[in-house]
Amino acid sequence: MRITEKIEYLQEHHWSEWYDTRKEADQYVSNQHPMWCVCGRLCTGMHERSCRRFQNKVNSETVKRLKHLIPKGVKNG
């Protein structure tokens, strides 16, 4: 499964866990980079909300933390 498929599965089947963990992962990634974003630009709240690299990092961290909720071999459809 690709990461987008895993996110879709988590949103569909474990919404509250996904939402809470995503907020925590967002804060975790933001705290890891207090001055500069993962993309190399100056880190501001507005930038983090619109930065594709930052959001991809948050998505990866969220899926990593919730991988125990994703059964192996789950296919969408």
- In this prediction the pTM is 0.85
20: Cβ–Cβ under 8 A, 6 or more apart, which residues? none
- Sequence ranges of the domains in the chain: 3-69
Convert the pLDDT of each residue in 20-46 to its tens digit: 999 999 999 999 988 999 999 998 889
pLDDT at position 74, please?
A: 59
- Torsion over CA: 46, 52, 53, 59 (sign): positive
Residue 47 makes CB contacts below 8 A (sequence gap 6+) with 37, 41, 54
pLDDT for residue 77: 44
Residue 7 has what pLDDT? 94
State the residue for tokens 């507005």. Answer: 46
The pLDDT mean for the chain works out to: 91
